[in-house]
């Protein structure tokens, strides 16, 4: 099984001979609903975990819940949790729990299997404090004049290996003016622990005074602790490559003096109708929007699967609806092909999964099999569905008919027997208005 590793910029073999493959996926900051772009990344870790399992190994997946400390480095008022709490006029932890719950609901709707654990940042403070202390002791971190603790980027020799951003190229002020307060010794240093200052909510005691953790430290702490000091596969969105993962790598590696992560996998961003999804473009799509249109959430999953995870994909309503049709067609055909639940391995599909999660090729292969004359189509589809997880075996739901619908259907059958076509057509319109779609076959009318 091979995956593209951002750090070495090439395909890298994943050892699936081991009993267990340790995975870490950067989770959500729970201050708002995850949009479908966020979900695409979480889907990626699900696909990798499923492929690991297909190869006979067990994934141990840790996904953090950021419920504290995710803020821009230099502006204390910008904490995402606190500003949203202010906006909704509730306790910040209430916000966190609410959106955390919705995150799990969305994942379940997309058939994303739950991670082994979802540690919360706010409940992992001890872990982070101990890690920060060790980094200070090892000489990689220092307490600034503002009582915050900073990581010293220059002390970590291979800084920049993931993103290609070298320290001397990271001069401050490229994007917007920095307000250097002088507490950091070097412009590229970042906070491991932020002193509370005026802040009173979401603060904890520490050896350096009241404060709260920096964003990057939580992933180092959780992955080191919950994955026993080594990550086989680290998954996240492409935007996290820098600075988040670069900093996480520096922290973790500094601590153990070797590579803490074998493979860095980054999912590309999703565009919606040509533009990056953002509040200002007004094109943020939530999974609930998809469901509200009467589309199966798994159609979105199929839509994602039809594109390489490493390409910026442009999602459109048209594409989602097309995927929804494909899904319905496959489920209908599955019902006709066979009713058992046998599974038959297709070498081409197996190979595609193992070749850097090439789900577009798998989908293509399924379309091919759909049309050919093989006898075990359903068994091959079921094999692929172990990873695709599109519930292809799910029977098309039987429509529950109201008495009114039943009467109209009986009337129409009668009208058709008597070749009263005008009546038949009028009844069809009426039934369609009730939400049934009618098809006439040589065996009579059918509805769905």
CB nearer to RNA: give 257 or 422: 422
CB nearer to RNA: give 57 or 427: 427
Strand pairing class (313-315; 270-272): parallel
* Shortest distance, position 309 Cβ to RNA, whole Å: 9
CB nearer to RNA: give 364 or 409: 364
* Shortest distance, position 4 Cβ to RNA, whole Å: 9
* Shortest distance, position 17 Cβ to RNA, whole Å: 26
Specify whether the CB–CB gap between 353 and 361 falls below 8 A.
no
CB nearer to RNA: give 57 or 295: 295
CB nearer to RNA: give 38 or 57: 38
Specify whether the CB–CB gap between 43 and 304 falls below 8 A.
yes
Query: What tokens were used for 17?
Result: 């001979």
* Shortest distance, position 244 Cβ to RNA, whole Å: 5
Query: What tokens were used for 177?
Result: 């003016």
Question: Which residues are within 8 A (CB) of 206 and not within 5 positions of it... i.e. 6 or more apart?
Answer: 129, 132, 193
332: number of Cβ within 10 Å:
13
Name 448's bridge partners: none
* Shortest distance, position 18 Cβ to RNA, whole Å: 26
* Shortest distance, position 327 Cβ to RNA, whole Å: 11
Specify whether the CB–CB gap between 31 and 99 falls below 8 A.
yes
CB nearer to RNA: give 57 or 241: 241
CB nearer to RNA: give 57 or 63: 63
Name 23's bridge partners: 61, 233
- The closest of 231, 227, 235, 236 to 258, measured between CA atoms, is 231
CB nearer to RNA: give 56 or 395: 395
How many residues make up the chain in this entry?
A: 448
* Shortest distance, position 384 Cβ to RNA, whole Å: 15
CB nearer to RNA: give 271 or 291: 271
The SS3 assignment for 84 reads helix
* Shortest distance, position 257 Cβ to RNA, whole Å: 24
* Shortest distance, position 115 Cβ to RNA, whole Å: 14
Degrees to nearest 5, angle at CA 268 with 264 and 271: 165
* Shortest distance, position 427 Cβ to RNA, whole Å: 10
Question: Which residues are within 8 A (CB) of 238 and not within 5 positions of it... i.e. 6 or more apart?
Answer: 266, 267, 268, 269
- The closest of 162, 140, 137, 159 to 150, measured between CA atoms, is 140
392-410: burial string, b at 16+ Cβ within 10 Å, e else: beeeeeeeeeeeebeebbe
Angle between helices 36-54 and 347-354 (to 10 degrees): 120
Residues 217, 353: Cα–Cα separation, whole Å? 33
CB nearer to RNA: give 375 or 439: 439
């Amino acid at each position: 099984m091979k995956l593209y590793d951002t750090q070495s910029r090439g395909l890298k073999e994943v050892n699936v001979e081991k009993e267990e493959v340790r995975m870490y996926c950067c989770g959500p900051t729970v201050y708002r609903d995850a949009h479908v772009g966020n979900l695409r990344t979480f889907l990626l870790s699900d696909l990798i975990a499923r492929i690991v399992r297909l190869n006979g190994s067990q994934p141990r997946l840790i996904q953090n819940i950021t419920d504290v400390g995710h803020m821009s480095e230099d502006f204390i008022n910008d904490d995402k949790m606190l500003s949203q709490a202010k906006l909704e006029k509730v306790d910040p932890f209430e916000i966190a729990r609410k959106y955390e719950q919705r995150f799990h609901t969305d994942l379940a709707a997309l058939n994303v299997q739950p991670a082994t654990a979802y540690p919360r940042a706010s409940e992992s403070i001890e872990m982070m404090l101990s890690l920060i202390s060790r980094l200070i002791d090892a000489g990689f971190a220092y307490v600034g004049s503002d009582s915050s603790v900073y990581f010293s980027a220059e002390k970590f020799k291979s800084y920049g290996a993931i993103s290609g951003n070298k320290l001397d190229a990271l001069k401050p002020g490229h994007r917007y003016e920095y307000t250097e307060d002088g507490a950091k010794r070097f412009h590229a240093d970042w906070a491991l622990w932020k002193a509370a200052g005026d802040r009173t909510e979401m603060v904890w005691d520490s050896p350096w005074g009241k404060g709260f953790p920096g964003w990057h430290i939580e992933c180092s702490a959780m992955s080191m602790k919950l994955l026993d000091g080594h990550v086989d596969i680290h998954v996240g969105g492409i935007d996290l490559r820098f600075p988040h993962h670069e900093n996480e790598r520096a922290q973790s590696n500094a601590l153990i003096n070797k590579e803490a992560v074998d493979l860095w996998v980054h999912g590309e961003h999703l565009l919606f109708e040509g533009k990056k999804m953002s509040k200002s473009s007004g094109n943020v799509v939530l999974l609930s929007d998809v469901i509200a249109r009467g589309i199966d959430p798994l159609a979105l999953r199929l839509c994602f699967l039809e594109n390489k995870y490493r390409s910026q994909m442009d999602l459109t309503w048209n594409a989602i609806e097309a995927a929804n049709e494909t899904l319905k067609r496959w489920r209908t055909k599955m019902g006709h092909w066979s009713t058992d639940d046998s599974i038959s391995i297709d070498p081409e599909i197996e190979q595609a999964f193992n070749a850097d999660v090439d789900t577009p090729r798998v989908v293509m292969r399924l379309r091919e099999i759909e049309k050919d004359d093989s006898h075990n189509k359903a068994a091959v589809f079921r094999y692929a569905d172990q990873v695709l997880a599109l519930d292809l075996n799910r029977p098309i739901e039987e429509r529950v008919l109201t008495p009114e619908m039943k009467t109209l259907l009986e009337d129409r059958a009668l009208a058709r027997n008597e070749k009263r076509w005008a009546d038949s057509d009028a009844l069809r319109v009426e039934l369609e208005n009730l939400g049934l779609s009618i098809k006439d076959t040589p065996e009579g009318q059918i509805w769905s």
